[in-house]
Amino acid sequence: MSQYPGVREQPTPRAAVDVMGGLVGALLVTAATVLTAGREQVPPQLRALDATAYLLVAMGGAALALRHLAPLWTFTLTLLPGIAYQAAGYPGGPAPAPIILALYSMAARGERQRVLGLGLVATAALTATRALSVPHGPGSPLLVAFPTAIVAALYSGQIVANRRARVREAAERAALAEREREQETKRRIDAERLRIAREFHDVVAHNISLINVQATMGVHLMDQRPTEAGAALAAIKDVSRQTLRELRRIVDVLRQSDEAEPTAPAPGLAGLDALVAGTRHAGLPVELHVLGRPRPLPPTVDVAAFRIIQESLTNALRYSDAAPTRVTLTYRADALVVEVVDDGRGAAKAASGSAPPVSGHGIAGMRERANAVGGTLDAGPVDGGGFAVRADLPLTTVLP
């Protein structure tokens, strides 16, 4: 914690830590040399410790400041003073210790093969230099134990390298899991946004189309046939009430928590008769045909079929000039086939550009609903005029 409130302490940079470590290493190795070799009786074949010896030892320790930045250079800068120390014929002691620490740092980075090779080079160089500089002098105990120290450095460094690798792998797995969670959350949000957009489009587009047709009819009939105009206004009132009810249902779903089950019933084929009746009342002749044996459907298929029929009737109401429209439901053993065909000029009007401008999301939304339950949807003009929509919706469960 900082001693000044509101001021956050910054972490010490790695470079500063390495420099301090190098200084401490130089002091420790120099002090160890003084406490060991400096207090021993120097044989006549060897050279007594002097300022040059302490400088060489300190240089080797100071080179450890580069062990993270440049491990190979660190090894070189610790080996050269060590060779010079042995070549001068100074007595044994911890002078080669910085070389061992440099090799340990490399082993901790996972450079096992390099440590083995450089360890052999260092052992050969120090041993040969000692033998040539003091051919008849006593051997250095540290040089005798030098290979063992290299093995210990390699083993210790490998343990650290393995631990770091496990920590790194765990961090990578955690980061990957976090990215996957974020992607899944985004996917769920996008799917929910698309579902809400479909619901609003299906409800508003269909009912507003009915209101528009009835309002247009009421305007034309207000003076000549006020009774029929009143019926049109009554239809507008009914459709408006239904629209508000549907919008409240959607808002209720949005207000519920993720864990709670929706309490408002989703629209399905149970409301098909009311949908057809409302469309007929708006002025579009609709025939409903049901083939096969009706039976309970999976909820997703039930909603998809209803919304596809609703959107198809909305398009027919807009563009077919109130031409007869047929809605056919065919219950098969493994699928429900939905067909909506009008005999009007909607396709020709849309192709010629005389149709009112629309967003174009209707057919795309129907196709998305069909694909969501593992089905397909085809839509397009038919020969002789008119427009057809066909959706094949499988009745088996579709796994995500």
Long-range contacts, 20-24 (Cβ 8 Å, 24+): 21/64, 21/65, 21/67, 22/61, 22/62, 22/63, 22/64, 22/65, 22/66, 23/62, 23/65
All domains in the chain, ordered by first residue: 14-178 (no CATH), 265-400 (3.30.565.10)
> Which pLDDT value is given to residue 400?
44
User: Tokens 């429900």 correspond to what residue?
Assistant: 336
> Which pLDDT value is given to residue 126?
81
> Which pLDDT value is given to residue 32?
64
> Which pLDDT value is given to residue 24?
66
Residue closest to 339 by CA, chosen among 269, 290, 279, 266: 290
290 Rama class: left (phi>0) / alpha (psi -120 to 50) / beta: beta
> Which pLDDT value is given to residue 36?
60
Residue 190 tokens, joined: 């996008």
Q: Looking at residue 89, what DSSP letter applies?
A: T
The helix/strand/coil state of 291 is strand
> Which pLDDT value is given to residue 37?
56
> Which pLDDT value is given to residue 290?
93
Burial per residue of 137-160, b for 16 or more beta-carbon CB atoms within 10 angstroms, e otherwise: beebebbeebeebbeebbeebbee
Residues in the chain: 400
Torsion of CA 327, 330, 335, 337, to 10 degrees: -30
**218: Cβ–Cβ under 8 A, 6 or more apart, which residues?**
229, 232, 233, 236
How many whole angstroms separate alpha carbon 43 and alpha carbon 137? 8
Q: What is the pLDDT along the chain (400 residues), one digit of tens a residue?
A: 444 444 444 445 655 665 666 566 666 766 666 656 555 566 666 777 778 877 887 887 777 777 778 888 888 888 888 888 888 877 776 677 788 888 888 888 888 888 888 888 888 888 788 778 776 655 555 556 777 878 888 888 888 888 888 888 888 888 888 888 888 878 887 777 776 766 666 666 666 666 666 666 666 666 666 666 666 666 666 666 666 666 666 666 565 555 444 545 567 898 899 888 888 877 788 999 999 999 889 888 998 999 899 888 888 877 767 678 999 999 998 999 999 998 875 444 444 444 444 445 678 888 888 998 899 999 988 887 788 999 999 987 544 4
Residue closest to 71 by CA, chosen among 37, 41, 39, 109: 109
> Which pLDDT value is given to residue 320?
63
> Which pLDDT value is given to residue 352?
45
The helix/strand/coil state of 90 is coil
**239: Cβ–Cβ under 8 A, 6 or more apart, which residues?**
207, 210, 211, 214, 278, 282
Residue closest to 56 by CA, chosen among 38, 23, 82: 82
How many whole angstroms separate alpha carbon 233 and alpha carbon 292? 38
> Which pLDDT value is given to residue 50?
78
Residue 208 tokens, joined: 């507003």
The helix/strand/coil state of 387 is strand
> Which pLDDT value is given to residue 6?
41
